[in-house]
Amino acid sequence: MNLGESLGNYLSKEEIASLEKALNGEPVHALLLNPEKLTDSDFVAAYPHVRKHPFVDHAYLYNKEEYQFGQNLLYDDGAYSIQDPAAMMVPYFLAPTPDDIVLDMCAAPGGKTIGASIAMENKGTIIANDISYPRAKDMSQNIERMGRGNIIVTSTDFVFAYVNFLNAFDKIILDAPCSGSAMFRKNEEAERDWNPSKVKSCVKRQLELLELSYAMLKEGGTLAYSTCSFSYEEDDGVILDFKAKHPEIELVSLPEDPSFYRTKELPKAVHLFPNHFEGEGQFICLFKKPGILTKNSHEVIANNQYKDFIAQYGLTGRSNEILRGKFYSLYQHFDASHLNILRYGVKLFEVREIFIPDHHLSHFVSSKGSIAINEKEMKAYIHGDTFPSSLPDGFYIVSYDHQNLGFIKVTQGIAKNHYPKGLRREIK
């Protein structure tokens, strides 16, 4: 059985033909601006042929042949995140706020987490989890690049950990592992790997993850379930099965729009098919847990040991904590002792006799206090080279065109390079 035959159990022949035609077309490319680093007006002035996303603030569609945004220095600076415009709709519909505690259950590579973090104005707390440690590690580097300060990155199997987080989260994103039919345009391997058995296997796992997520959702909280699958079994079928077991849940009606496809059985959810919506495809359904939502208080842990460092970088009022020999800054304290932590907010430095400020800090703070360098120095810095400096000895953040690049350490007139070795490259 191929995908078209599988879709015949809920889509008309005309709809399937239209969808298959779209899958043979070109992928849609988009990005989400980091408004703390780059304003919409400045971005559009520099790249006038981008098109605004029809729903998501600070998001733009673009022609990859014209704009190579993945190779742009602004990407290195964390000025934007390249994402699928359909996937951006999950945090858009969920609409997390600055006082929310959010769990992104299967978060890697981190696009939805970053979208939620931007919506939350770098406040509140997001647990961005992925059971795969390598994927969580890559996501952690992506979050570092974007300079986010309200995200805890973890690699935890919640089958064992969920009991420590019962009724803990205001909002949950469950972008469930799926058969991946919406990835066919971008990934030929996904198309070769697809089969009905994989769909059935995914359904079982999706329902298990929904049960875990629901247990961790607060009373009155909202959960966003999504997949990048077109299969009815993984989308409407999973939600209908889950609602049959939990009739108390309240499905949230998503807005009406001609680009949203809905089924008769589940009209409150939406399918973002690429023949209707500019994107690779997404199924999205939101539901609420009964009860009245109670928000957590804003708790921070101060640190007097490094108070001068904290004041220097404007971190006063945040929760500045030492975990496992590393000094972190998070918007507010969250007890993550039962989680396998890769990053607890902004990494500041490793606690040693002589500490070196971390690259994440340079991308988190404003460029206003940085040292502006010229184009020649910028190219040398990104390449990993040293360059002369008349500054007094010490650590400094250098910036180019109002975007922080990273740290240097000036020693006897030479700016020693602290740009991470794995990020260094030649800019022509």
Residues annotated catalytic, as ranges: 228
Identify whether the C-beta of residue 226 lies closer than 8 Å to the C-beta of residue 269. Answer: no
How far apart CA 338 and CA 132 sit, in angstroms, is: 17
How far apart CA 103 and CA 164 sit, in angstroms, is: 14
How far apart CA 24 and CA 252 sit, in angstroms, is: 33
CB-neighbour burial class of residue 14 (10 A; exposed 0-12, middle 13-18, buried 19+):
exposed
109 preceded by cis ω (within 30°)?
yes
Q: Tokens at residue 119, please? A: 């919506």
Identify whether the C-beta of residue 113 lies closer than 8 Å to the C-beta of residue 122. Answer: no
How far apart CA 21 and CA 35 sit, in angstroms, is: 36
Strand partners of residue 227: 283
How far apart CA 415 and CA 55 sit, in angstroms, is: 44
How far apart CA 124 and CA 98 sit, in angstroms, is: 5
C-alpha 4 chain-centroid distance: 31
Tell me the H-state helices in 27-131. 40-46, 73-77, 89-94, 111-119
End-to-end CA distance of the chain: 50
Non-local CB neighbours of 419 within 8 Å, separated by 6+ positions? 359, 381, 382, 384, 405, 406, 407
What SS3 state is found at 341? Answer: strand
Q: Tokens at residue 161, please? A: 């950990």
Identify whether the C-beta of residue 38 lies closer than 8 Å to the C-beta of residue 85. Answer: no
How far apart CA 173 and CA 128 sit, in angstroms, is: 9
Longest pairwise C-alpha distance within the chain:
73
Non-local CB neighbours of 385 within 8 Å, separated by 6+ positions? 417
What are the phi and psi torsion angles at 7 (to 5°)? -75, -10
